[in-house]
Amino acid sequence: MEKSHLIKPLLDKDYPVISYGDGIYLYDTSGKKYIDGSSGAITANLGHGVQEIIDSITNQAHKVSFVYRSQFTNEPAEQLAQKICELYGDGYWSFFVNSGSEATETAMKIAIQYWQERGLRGKNKILSRWMSYHGITIGALSMSGHPERRSRFVSILEDYPTISPPYCYRCPYGATYPGCNYLCANELEQAINRIGSSNIAAFIAEPIIGAAGGAIVPPDGYYQVIKEICVKYNILFIADEVMTGFGRTGKMFALEHWGTTADLVAIGKGMSAGYTPIAATLVSEKIIETIKNGSKSIMSGHTFSANPQSAAVALSVIHYLEKNNLVDTALVKGTYLKEKLIDLQLCYPIIGDIRGKGLMIGVEFVSDMITKFPFSKEINLTSLIISKAQQNGLLIYPASAGIEGIGGDAVLIAPPLTITNKQIDDLIQLFEQTLVDIGKDLQSDGII
Ligand code: PMP
């Protein structure tokens, strides 16, 4: 290829050029085949080249691709909002945006506006957890407890992340569940008391921590404690389901695992399964009613919000998920994938922990299985594993985990929900080959 002017994550790296995708496979222009073991960025939940979704794009394009939200509403966006309301629970409204970052940032703004409408203008801080990722724009990054992504911009960020994550593998208190009595969740109450509930609009959390933790699942009961604290202190609860939504974890939305909902919900990624950009903030009826009876308008919005083309895609993605029962089967397939990984763990002691729900599985690596001590930061094991896997024809996703200030390594394995058990076997085989290759490299470098 001629000199590139496309800005990619690393400016000095040559990336393979993708040619086409088919099901769980991607093919680059050299003819190399990859198993998409991470659905890209946990996004291509239906796999690639699904005819039904392609048809929805062309059908809608023949009708109309764009109308502006302050001039028209449109049928696909209305139907999508209706469908999401049915799926999430009665009364929820959808504010469509284009990325997960916009969805969380819109949730943040709506939370602040809600309290303003109620005359509580001081309630404008958003509390969050360390080991979280809610997006890359300044508001979303302010809510993200991701030191590496924050570091360059700390001086212009709000200082939001406050409480410890529910990271049971490395409990911040050295406690174990259930004896811990939810110390990490109760930190929220301490933070509220310190900051003052009259200054706090909301608390935001990913139901299962994705890129910032490697599929960290809180213990049962955790969200009940969080929600009780939010209600007690008049603080809204924002669930960031951008990665976990639309069946990824074996439920349509991950909070269903704990029988609960949130006041505001950010969704994205799997919503269109990557066929077109679309995301949304779901807003509960109580918030909508307050704003309707107040200033009547949510002060946010984007040119492409409620775009009919993207809405038509999201509708057909939901239809495809339901028709093929992909949400329930994700739970079964995820159990199969986890069992296969546990088999590998017996042979490869660098696998410290395997966690997650449905087809959102995290694998954390350690230099010592007993002490759980991570590999040194300088080794950059996560990057080595990701690139070795890619060389071997397997795409997996980097996640950060480990000991704060010391480091750690984790990856997410999250293939399309359409994967078969036979294809999971093939994925595992490539993952094992990657561990063998990495083991040899670490040995020859005298690291293990
Ligand atoms: N929230 C979560 C939980 C995410 O995983 C991500 C993306 N990794 C975002 C928000 C931001 O989404 P986007 O990249 O679409 O802006």
Structural domains of the chain, with CATH = 18-50+325-444 (3.90.1150.10), 52-323 (3.40.640.10)
**Mean pLDDT across 417-422:** 98
Rounded mean pLDDT of 8-23?
95
Distance from the alpha carbon of residue 33 to the mean position of ligand 1, in angstroms: 27
Name the average pLDDT for the chain: 96
- pLDDT tens-digit profile of 364-379? 999 999 999 999 999 9
Tokens 């394009």, residue located: 61
pLDDT band at 3 (very low <50, low <70, confident <90, very high): confident
Q: Whose CA is nearest to atom 1 of ligand 1?
A: 134
> Looking at the predicted structure, is the pLDDT value of residue 101 above 70?
yes
- Is residue 361's pLDDT more than 90? yes
* Nearest one of 347, 351, 368, 363 to 447, comparing CA atoms: 368
Give percent helix, percent strand, percent coil of the chain, each to the nearest 5.
40, 15, 40
What is the rounded CA–CA span in Å between residue 276 and residue 57? 9
Structure token digits, residue 4: 């590139």
Residue 163 has pLDDT above 70, yes or no: yes
List residues near ligand 1 (CB under 6 A).
41, 99-101, 104, 133-136, 206, 210-211, 240, 242-243, 268
Task: Please state the pTM of the whole predicted model.
Answer: 0.98
Q: Taking every pair of C-alpha atoms in the chain, what is the biggest distance, in angstroms?
A: 68
**Is pLDDT above 90 for 404?**
no
Separation of CA 243 and ligand 1 centre (Å):
7
Residue 52: closest CA among 317, 247, 307, 269: 317
In angstroms, what CA-CA distances link 73 with 111, 134, 314, 319, 379?
A: 24, 29, 16, 22, 53
Mean pLDDT, residues 113-133: 97
What is the distance in A from the centroid of ligand 1 to the CA of 242? Answer: 6
Cα(34)–Cα(27) distance, integer angstroms: 6
Give residue 1's pLDDT.
Answer: 59
Share of the chain above pLDDT 90, in %: 96
Average pLDDT of span 227-254: 98
In testing the pocket of ligand 1, which one of 242, 243, 246, 248 has its CB within 8 Å of the most ligand atoms?
Answer: 242
The three-class DSSP label of residue 116 is helix
Query: Residue 90: is its pLDDT beyond 80?
Result: no
